[in-house]
Chains A and B, each alone.
Chain A
Amino acid sequence: MNYNILLGGAAGQGMNTVGGVLEKVITRAGYYIFFHKDYMSRVRGGHNFNQLRFSDTPLYTHQEKIDMIIAFSEETVEKHRKDLTDNGIILCPTDFNVADPRARALPFKEIAKELGNVKVFGTVIVGAVVKMFKLPLEIAEGVLSEYFSGEILKLNREALQRGYGLTEEKFELPVSELKDTITINGNQAVGLGALAAGCTFFSGYPMTPGTGVMNYIASKQKALGIVVEQAEDEIAALNMVLGASFAGARAMTSTSGGGYSLMVEAIGLAGIIETPAVIVNVQRPGPATGLPTRTAQGDLKFVISAAQDEIPRMVISLRSAEEAFYQTARAFNLADKYQIPVTILSDQYLADGGVTMPPYDFSKIKIERYLADAEEIGEAPYRRYKITEDGISPRIIPGTIPGQVFMVDSDEHDEFGHIIESGELRNQMMEKRMKKMDGIRQDVREPWHLGSENPELLLVGWGSVYGAFKEAVERFGREGKEVGALVFGDVWPLPIRKITAYAKKAKRIITVEGNYSGQLAELIQQETCIPMKERFNKYDGRAWSHEEIYRRVQEVL
């Protein structure tokens, strides 16, 4: 059993507050939510909407079908009524001109005026919604006390009661037990993962939708004694991160595609100076400014090769907010282990979408720095780029061993980091660095498998499409269809065991991606020689819904 509430209106009308309060009431009452945000790149006005989907079991994705529309504008009704179920309801103020039999005009504004404060209008709506879903009123009262205090709290409680009195119980919702859960979005999950991993320095430059990571980490600076520096541009951001990392701090930056583009030269620098860095790219559609507040998976090809020439690197895409936490911590360990830049690919859908889940298990996070100590280095002059069998040279931190110094150099260099131009040494260094890819290949994780073990149809995707895949594949399963799916998390180097095995079994393979050409499909072809001809590509700036995947597959089955 799950329900989907859509709140829509112009920016600045208060629907985020109503959504926020409802989200808390619903999760406190023991339900799981999936919160989906669709907003325009402006501070006021326009048409924005939030979707609050909830259920008594965990949710992994949003949904097209809506059970309730809370309209802050007439436009909201016009735009979304086509997705409303027959039994659904539209809640709107009495002064809206809405010709839909499912509409229920209620005196939210009149009540707020009566109570003497138009601002409590949203709380009246909350009351009405709480009643219709039979949610516990005490919990709603408790949530209000976190937002307000004193006289204003009293007023809001009254507004809640009045709203509650406006409606009747309408939707069946199984009673849920209270459980310890968290509701977190992708950006916060990445930030929390970085803090758990011991990130002590962050530098970034604001760019939607990547800014949330910086915001979250910044809020913990004092508590943890760490530093977040807003750089003058993304070039500075990553270069600062590399300086801090060179000097021994675990360091990170986050941005979106435009900022990542500016970082490109420094990504190569991280590669050649073999200095760890974690770089988060929260994708939005491009090119250039693109669609600033929308979602996309268009940067895969770009980030696996960004920088002139070749460097060892790793790219991890995030499939869910739950995974985001653990993968971010893992990214730091891998960056340190191989002394490489690790890119985390997220996207707006994941970044802004809140999901309810069990609390993270912090005891699973291990901080592994892979640093050499004085004994290991000995008394001979330290070779920062010592040629070793696996390509990894013992790494020390400047200032920690008296008498030992070293250079890092963006020029090609010898084992000491000194500039060279010999072809032979160049080959040795290039081979040493690229050798690290062999180790990284051992560490990459195969994609997650969903649905049929012997699929007639195999869906293949990566990153945040996971949730929609899960529901679509489960639906096919219930209908007795042999549909399976693989969802890649690690995308570079590409793990190829599972895709090779399932490709042998599957009669048909379709890739489903959020970009124009099917970038994962091309990458799989490149790495495995398995043809990936059928591709569902979406590049309208919106995330795949499970219904859309289901429909598209139905059409071709």
Chain B
Amino acid sequence: MMLNTRFEQSKETAWCPGCGNFGIMNALESVLNELELKPHEVVICSGIGQAAKMPQYINANGFNGLHGRALPPATGIKIANKNLKVIINSGEGDTYGEGGNHFIHTIRRNIDIAHFVHNNQIYGLTKGQASPTTDMRFVTEVQAGGVILEPLNPVALAITMGASFVARSFSGDRAHLKEMMKAAITHKGYALVDILQPCISFNKVNTFKFYKERVYHMKEDYDYANKAQAFERSLEWGDRIPIGIFYRTEKPSYMEKIHHLSDGEILADKKPDPMEAEKFMDDFR
């Protein structure tokens, strides 16, 4: 009997009952199956945090690395083996805070990775400090007088940085989330889906109800290729929060720009022979 031919989620998790992460895991599991991927062909990468435990709970390959560092290993994996499907599931603190530098530069690389950010607007695992997306005036143990920093807008940032796929979804809207995930996984190049996710333990402001009342689907006739329009839309946040694909464009991915990578042998499959390099000694004669 062959092992692991279908994706399954584990029954035990370290998430709180009612956590938005469950919705994301359910959607991911069914998307991977619907796309007919095989567990051994998929690597789920993450950093550290509650969201970042995702690779623990789905029977694909997993790289659960350091806090803030989900993107660089994912990049290394994709370069080493372009045939692997590389997906990142991590928190917004992990991605936009500790790992902000990698976020910016991974966008610039436009490497084929689908990046799902579980954005609960809070540091969950460390028990409720402000994250880069926490709204101003939100009170925490550390930010006792309320957050005074302006929140980071990941969608706007990604659009201005030139990301080739930028979307937002909501963990409580399964059909929409699945659609966004599928589009991101099949997108050629770097694809960001910022997923609004209630944290029932530490974020009593941005609750399921809060999001449910505010999110709305962007219209069908929305022009994905219009960057200026996408940017303008990305600034909408408040009583109404748009979800859907903000921006999508076709441009050469990292792999396509390195011909010996896109057309050549998989790096990990190479069987180098030391004698191949002997000729380089001529550089020093």
Contacts and interface: CB of A to CB of B under 8 A. Distances in A.
A362 B84 contact: no
B63 interface: yes
Given A362-B275, A398-B40, A403-B3, A408 B62 contact: yes
Contact of A195 (B59, B61, B261, B280): B280
B261 A227 contact: yes
A450 to B, nearest CB: 26
Interface stretch (B64-72, B161-169, B181-189, B211-219): B64-72
Given A232-B102, A398-B40, A410-B48, A247 B274 contact: no
Contacts of A243: 45, 63, 72-77, 80
Interface stretch (A61-69, A74-82, A168-176, A178-186): A178-186
A236 B106 CA distance: 10
Nearest to A229: B79
Contacts of B77: 243-244, 246-247, 398
Given A247-B81, A265-B66, A397-B268, A192 B72 contact: no
A222 B280 CA distance: 13
Chain B interface size, as a band, is 35 or more
B63 A246 contact: yes
B105 interface: yes
B142 interface: no
A362 B278 contact: yes
A195 B281 CA distance: 11
Contacts of B55: 407, 409
Contact of B285 (A182, A188, A407): A182
A439 B79 CA distance: 32
Interface residues of A, number: 73
Interface string B240-262: 00000000000000000010110
A99 B264 CA distance: 64
B285 A399 contact: no
Contacts of B280: 192, 195, 220
A247 B80 contact: yes
B76 A251 contact: yes
Interface string B5-40: 100000000100000000000000000000000111
Contacts of A419: 14, 53, 56, 64
Given A235-B69, A398-B43, A203 B64 contact: no
B83 interface: yes
A266 B60 CA distance: 23
A246 B72 CA distance: 12
B276 A224 contact: yes
B41 interface: yes
A180 B285 contact: yes
A240 B76 contact: yes
Contact of A410 (B59, B64, B258): B64
Contacts of A225: 260-261, 264-265, 267, 270
A153 interface: no
A483 to B, nearest CB: 34
Interface in B67-105: 69, 71-77, 79-81, 83-84, 101-102, 104-105
B272 A367 contact: yes
A488 B4 CA distance: 49
B62 A403 contact: no
Contact of B268 (A249, A329, A402): A249
A409 B54 CA distance: 12
A200 B4 contact: no
Contact of B76 (A188, A241, A410): A241
Contacts of B83: 399
A503 interface: no
A407 B260 contact: no
Contact of A329 (B60, B66, B71, B274): B274
A203 B111 CA distance: 15
B281 A360 contact: yes
B2 interface: yes
Contacts of B65: 239, 242, 269, 273, 408, 410
Interface string A328-369: 010000000000000000000000000000011011011100
B277 interface: yes
A225 B267 CA distance: 8
A269 B274 CA distance: 29
B266 to A, nearest CB: 8
Contacts of A232: 101-102, 104-105
A247 B270 contact: no
A58 interface: no
B1 A266 contact: no
A227 B267 contact: yes
A249 B267 contact: yes
Contacts of A251: 76, 80
A244 B101 contact: no
Interface in A172-229: 180-184, 188, 192, 195-198, 200-201, 203, 220-222, 224-227, 229
B274 to A, nearest CB: 4
Given A225-B260, A227-B258, A200 B274 contact: no
Contacts of B267: 200-201, 225-227, 244, 248-249
A222 B260 contact: yes
A403 B53 CA distance: 22
Contacts of B61: 398-399, 405-407
B261 to A, nearest CB: 6
Contact of A200 (B101, B272, B283, B284): B272
6 contacts: A188-B283, A195-B280, A200-B272, A360-B281, A379-B3, A405-B40
6 tightest CB-CB pairs across the interface, nearest first? A243-B76, A248-B268, A243-B73, A198-B272, A239-B72, A244-B76
Given A235-B101, A398-B61, A405-B61, 16 more contacts: A181-B285, A182-B281, A200-B268, A203-B72, A221-B260, A225-B267, A226-B270, A239-B76, A243-B45, A244-B77, A249-B81, A249-B270, A363-B274, A401-B40, A411-B64, A418-B56
